[in-house]
């Protein structure tokens, strides 16, 4: 049986003032690899439950309103908003009867809503996590944990304090922001080399690109 241990903490996926975050280790991998891959996919991909729930609610509301208007028409009562037959005739007659500006706005909103649901259906949702290699287990690390380790390494290479380094880790990119101490130059290449070396040791999947930004204005040293 596969066991999972997941310890999580709050915070953004940026680090600079200490280490925090979560690492999940899924032990006893499936010898065939298929079971382990399914577990890791579940740990690194976001759920579609929220978007599916929104779509279901919208469809239920639309169908419920249609049934309500049909029932009102069947008993000879005036419609609540618009008679179904009148609505169908207006749709068939489009674009007649609607100002071009309003028609364009309705079309744009409808297209954006459709694109939102379409992209959520076909694109893989990603959590702020990376896979780390391990021979005996599948290791999933929060981006915050990776950012903390990279911030420590960048801080040592730049010879600055914790507050002067901020690292932001995303799925495909690592951004290292360094504020040097006034009068003490910081080598951007040295910081970049140190961060890349740390990343090579971690070997996260997927491997992000690294960008280092050294501020032009420094801070006053203690």
Q: Would you say residue 21 has pLDDT above 60?
A: no
How confident is the model at residue 25, as a pLDDT? Answer: 46
Residue 40, CB half-sphere, CA atoms under 13 Å: how many? 21
Residue-wise pLDDT for 180-194, tens only, equals 888 888 888 999 999
162 against 25, higher pLDDT:
162
The predicted model scores a pTM of 0.56
Q: Which of 125, 104, 219 is nearest to 171 (CA)?
A: 125
Average pLDDT over residues 24-37: 50
């Amino acid at each position: 049986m596969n066991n999972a241990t997941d310890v999580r903490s709050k915070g953004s996926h940026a680090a600079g003032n200490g280490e925090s975050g979560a690492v999940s280790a899924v032990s006893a991998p499936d010898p065939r690899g298929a079971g382990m891959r399914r577990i890791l996919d579940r740990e690194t991909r976001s759920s579609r439950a929220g978007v599916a729930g929104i779509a279901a609610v919208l469809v239920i509301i639309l169908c419920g309103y249609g049934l309500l208007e049909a029932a009102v028409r069947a008993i000879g009562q005036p419609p609540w908003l618009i008679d179904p037959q009148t609505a169908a005739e207006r749709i068939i007659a489009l674009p007649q009867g609607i100002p071009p500006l309003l028609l364009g706005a309705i079309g744009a909103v409808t297209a954006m809503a459709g694109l939102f649901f379409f992209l959520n259906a076909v694109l893989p949702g990603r959590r702020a996590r990376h896979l780390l290699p391990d021979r005996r287990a599948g290791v999933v690390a929060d981006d915050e944990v990776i950012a903390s380790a990279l911030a420590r390494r960048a801080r040592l290479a730049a010879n600055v304090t914790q507050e002067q380094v901020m690292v932001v880790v995303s799925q495909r990119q690592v951004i290292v922001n360094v504020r040097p101490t006034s009068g003490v130059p910081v080598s951007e290449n040295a910081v970049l080399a140190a961060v890349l070396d740390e990343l090579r040791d971690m070997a996260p999947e997927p491997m992000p690109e690294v960008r280092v930004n050294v501020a032009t204005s420094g801070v006053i040293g203690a």
